Amino acid sequence: MKIALAQLNYHIGNFEFNTQKIISNIEAAKGKGADLVVFAELAICGYPPRDFLEFDEFISLCENAAREIAKHCTDIACIVGLPVRNDVLQGKDLFNAAYFIEGGKVKAITKKALLPTYDVFDEYRYFEPATRFKCIDFKGKRIALTICEDLWNINDNPLYVSNPMDELIKEQPDVMINIAASPFSYTHDEERIRVLADNAKKYKLPLFYVNQIGAQTEIIFDGGSLVFDAEGEKKAEMKSFEEDLQVFDLEEVESVRNKYPEGPRATDIEQIHDALILGIRDYFKKSGFTKAVLGLSGGIDSAVVCALACRALGAENVMAVLMPSKFSSDHSVQDALGLANNIGCMHEIIPIKEAAEAFDHMLAPAFKGLPFNLTEENIQARIRGTVLMAMSNKFGYILLNTSNKSECAVGYGTLYGDMCGAIGVIGDVYKTQVFELAKYINKEREIIPVNTIVKPPSAELRPDQKDSDSLPDYGILDKILYEHIELKKGSARIVAAGYDEALVTRILKMVNIAEFKRYQTPPILRVSPKAFGMGRRMPIVGKYMI
């Protein structure tokens, strides 16, 4: 039996697009001699559909699409994910399911049992968990079909009390197939390989796993579909961050060799780079936009975002706006211009000195001679936000936010100023990682001026300002933030790891106080195991750690 894995980029709720993409890959798989073609979890509607699932019409459109797809499954069978209705009154109204289609008809329906509700997942909000399990017979082989999380309950601290495969294995299947919507993080690819290999070894069966690629707002899918033999050895790994269709012979799985050179795995920074480009590109494409605008300060954050946007959208579609104030250094303006010239993007210079002076004059009576402080700094940032939104409104540009994760974490940013935007490009990338990204972007030639990378970071909102005036050194700050955010450690455990108690207390207090700001920021492209946004839910008025 020849099995095709179709690793595709879907668009949530775009049924015509998704259906035609699935049908064209059915035909392509036929042309490659496949007997069965396998598509991802909820492929028909896209993942995650969220509250679209509460609309009855949405489910009907899924069913209509499935019927259209079935018409093309005459000389080939397919497995495709979609939501299906629950005919039992008790419980949730839907199942997260997969159709097995053969001879133009749905021959079997597999329902997902383990419904994740952690991090970015909220499946039990919509779906009823399956309690009955049955293998699928096809061409003399018995298939144990599972859906994503159904194979993830295999570690030392299981989240669930049962494993679907423990039931399916009783029917003596010949092969496992798992369809997934497994989001990217730079730590997830190796974990995914380990979990799937453990399943193959435990059940002593070959395993075919298909993931999807593409970005759905902030969630990015990296593909990397996999084939394992019955010993748990990885036999093939499909492309990352690209669509791919490959055919594998079940009878020859032991002799399969990866069609993509093994070599060293991509580094974290390489993966983050590719994920962010895909995230930007899909956000614009799927939203129907083509042109971006951002503020280009001469600093490293905006430089990295500009470079990534130009790679994702084309330099001709990126407008960089330089907005020097009376506190901006000459080298910052020159660094920003150097980047724009190196990369070939559009740019405008719009000084904000007159606008800031107008605000000073307007507010002078109300401020009653009080000295310059954070208020005037924030006014400058908000003037810049207004300028960028004006450019967005006038020309139809979409504003890219350039705040990094370190700043987002401790609230080092101005609401309605530098924190505004439609999508946060590097809001899940720590400042130390931003420096690594800049060096990676420059690996073949100087795109980001070297001075931008080596100079001390500064917001340049007051004379001789440096980030270090307000924040701990980023090398220490980022390590403590990682311990707290990604590893979910409280102050006592972080201090026990060797960090200064007063510094830890200060940083964690800053993180918690800034929660109200993060509630008002744009969605952030998720590249880490714990990103700000829907995957990290904290109360604004909570007292813990403050």
Where in the sequence numbering do the catalytic residues fall?
A: 41, 112, 148
CA distance 450 to 446: 7
Around Cβ 129, how many Cβ atoms within 10 Å?
19
Enumerate the β-bridge partners of residue 539.
none
Backbone angles phi and psi of 80, in degrees to 5: -145, 140
Say if CB 514 and CB 411 are below 8 A apart.
Answer: yes
Q: Is 56 exposed, middle or buried (0-12, 13-18, 19+ CB in 10 A)?
A: exposed
Residue positions forming the annotated binding site for ATP: 295-302, 402
CA distance 229 to 235: 7
In this structure, the strands spanning 2-7 and 36-38 are parallel
Q: Is 243 exposed, middle or buried (0-12, 13-18, 19+ CB in 10 A)?
A: middle
Q: Is 58 exposed, middle or buried (0-12, 13-18, 19+ CB in 10 A)?
A: middle
Backbone angles phi and psi of 439, in degrees to 5: -65, -35
Residues 6+ apart with CB under 8 A from 112: 41, 95, 96, 97, 123, 127, 129, 130, 146, 147, 148, 149, 150
CA distance 249 to 236: 12
Residue positions forming the annotated binding site for L-glutamine: 118, 182
The CA-atom distances, in angstroms, between 287 and each of 11, 283, 423 are 10, 6, 12
Structure tokens at 288: 């129907």
Say if CB 186 and CB 271 are below 8 A apart.
Answer: yes
The CA dihedral of 124, 130, 131, 134, to the nearest 10 degrees, is -160
Enumerate the β-bridge partners of residue 138.
141
Say if CB 487 and CB 499 are below 8 A apart.
Answer: no
Residues in the chain: 546
Residues 6+ apart with CB under 8 A from 181: 40, 41, 42, 47, 48, 81, 148, 211, 212, 221
Q: Is 145 exposed, middle or buried (0-12, 13-18, 19+ CB in 10 A)?
A: buried
Say if CB 380 and CB 413 are below 8 A apart.
Answer: no
Residue positions forming the annotated binding site: 118, 182, 295-302, 378, 402, 407, 517
